[in-house]
Amino acid sequence: MRIIHLEQLEFIVEVAKTGSLTQAAKNCHVTLSAVSQSLSNLEAELGVTLFARSRNGATATVEGQAIVDKAVEVLQKLQELKQEAQLFTGIQRGELRMAAIPGPLSLLIHTIIRFKRDYPHIEMVMTEKSTREIMDDVLHHRADIGLIILYEDMLSKHGSLSFGKLLEGRMVVGVSKQSPLALRKSITPQQLMQLPIVLYKDDYLKFFIEQMEQDYGPFQIIFHTNNLVAIQKSVADNLAVTVGLDFSFNTQSQDSEIILLQLDMPGNQPFQLGWISSNESMLPAASQLFIKWLNHELQES
């Protein structure tokens, strides 16, 4: 069997689209005889008639339409392959606008620095916000990608968002090293109810606490804040405890003043840290590259 050339696939797709060998030749910037000869060679190679030709033009046969459909798929995959290669070759330029909930930026700081080192011409703008603010920024194109906790209740309301999974984790409780609780491995919701709690102001965390309160009753929430230093000081000074995502504490040193306890409760299922982007516009190349970079780095770690 002879090799089928990509230009032959391009020609038959164009003929099918225009219904004319003459117009296909013009669109492909070749001669009519080149298209006609290429089509005849392909029909001979495949052993089927691809087009019924007449004075009115060229119409795909049943067999021909099936071949044309396959040719379209091949050409689309080739285009995807070229775009994929372009992400990793040459000097990449552009802007990466990313918003993230607290935790991921600290957790991924080494990955971000390595990415910037390898792609110095990509300008990176990163902010920490709540889940709802991040989704709003992505939907209104103020951010290209967002790093949030993916949960079905919220994503189901936003069909205009694309998303992908990056990392799995769980909710934990942070207590002071001075607290008697620091000697424990875990804590139950009933025990947590007896303690003053300070929380980061985030929609997913609010949703999680509300679900627990439905099952166990009200908790002693002292305040919600976006000030991580205030939360850390309140816990370290043994004035309160906090509830948060386990990877949010991963950057703490071994001599940290905050000890993490597992939350011992039914339904404390793993959650997914993931990325979101808008369906309404094509994701910039810099953002596509960063997502691929993140996936690779997290799989290797």
**What's the pLDDT tens digit per position in 183-225?**
999 999 999 999 999 998 887 788 889 989 999 999 999 999 8
Average pLDDT, the chain: 85
Residue 56's pLDDT is 85
Torsion of the alpha carbons at 34, 40, 45 and 47, rounded to the nearest 10 = 160
Q: At how many degrees (to 10) do helices 6-18 and 21-28 cross?
A: 130
| Burial bucket for residue 281 (CB in 10 Å: 0-12, 13-18, 19+) | exposed
**How many structural domains compose the chain?**
3
Query: Within this chain, do residues 69 and 186 fall inside the same structural domain, yes or no?
Result: no
Q: The tokens 């303690």 sit on which residue?
A: 195
Residue 222: phi, psi to the nearest 5?
-75, -50
Q: Model confidence over 244-262: pLDDT tens digits?
A: 888 777 655 455 789 999 9
Sign of the torsion angle spanned by Cα atoms 71, 77, 81, 83: positive
CATH of residue 15's domain is 1.10.10.10
**Residue 157: predicted pLDDT:** 73
**Residue among 164, 146, 98 nearest 299 (CA):** 164
Same domain, yes or no, for 285 and 157?
yes
Query: Is the same domain home to 100 and 189?
Result: no
Q: How far apart are CA 75 and CA 83, in angstroms?
A: 12
What is the predicted pLDDT for the residue at 89? 54
Residue 270 sits at φ, ψ, to 5 deg, of: -60, 150
Task: Count other Cβ atoms within 10 Å, centred on residue 62.
Answer: 8
Question: Taking the CB of residue 224, how many other CB atoms lie within 10 A of it?
Answer: 16
In a domain, 99, yes or no: yes
Domain edge (last residue) among 88, 115, 146: 88
Residue 133 lies in a domain: yes
Out of 63, 88, 113, a domain closes at 88
Tell me which residue range forms the domain holding 122: 94-168+273-300
Q: Does 211 map to a domain?
A: yes
From the number of C-beta atoms within 10 Å of its C-beta (0-12, 13-18, 19+), residue 290 rates as buried
Query: Looking at residues 256-271, what average pLDDT do you find?
Result: 84
Q: What is the pLDDT of residues 114-162, one digit of tens each?
A: 888 888 888 889 898 888 899 999 988 899 999 988 876 666 777 788 8
Name the DSSP class of 105: H
User: What was the pLDDT predicted at 90?
Assistant: 46
CATH number of the structural domain spanning residue 247: 3.40.190.10
Q: Which residue has the tokens 């396959």?
A: 70
Residue 226 covered by a domain? yes
* Structural Rg of the chain based on CA atoms: 28
Domain-located, residue 242: yes
Sort 1 into a burial class: Cβ within 10 Å, 0-12 / 13-18 / 19+. Answer: exposed
- Considering the domain architecture, whether residues 193 and 257 belong to the same structural domain is answered as yes
Token digits of residue 287: 């953002």
Which residue is associated with the tokens 């953002």?
287
Same-domain status, 178 and 210: yes
Report the Cα 150 to chain-centroid distance in Å: 10
Residue 69's CB is within 10 A of a number of other CB atoms, namely 12
- Tell whether 164 and 185 lie within a shared domain: no
With respect to residue 223, please indicate whether it lies within any of the assigned structural domains.
yes
**Claim to verify: residue 282 and residue 240 sit in the same structural domain:** no
Residues 198 and 248 in one domain: yes
Q: Is the pTM of this model over 0.95?
A: no
- Which amino acid belongs to residue 149? I
- Domain-located, residue 1: no
Domain boundary among 55, 88, 121: 88
- Split at pLDDT 50, 70, 90, the class of 182 is very high
One domain for residues 31 and 102:
no
Q: How many residues appear in the chain?
A: 301
Q: Are residues 80 and 224 in the same domain?
A: no
| Per-residue model confidence (pLDDT) at position 144 | 93
Are 225 and 261 in the same domain? yes
Residues 191 and 257 in one domain: yes
User: Worst-scoring range by mean pLDDT, 74-83, 86-95, 129-138, 174-183?
Assistant: 86-95
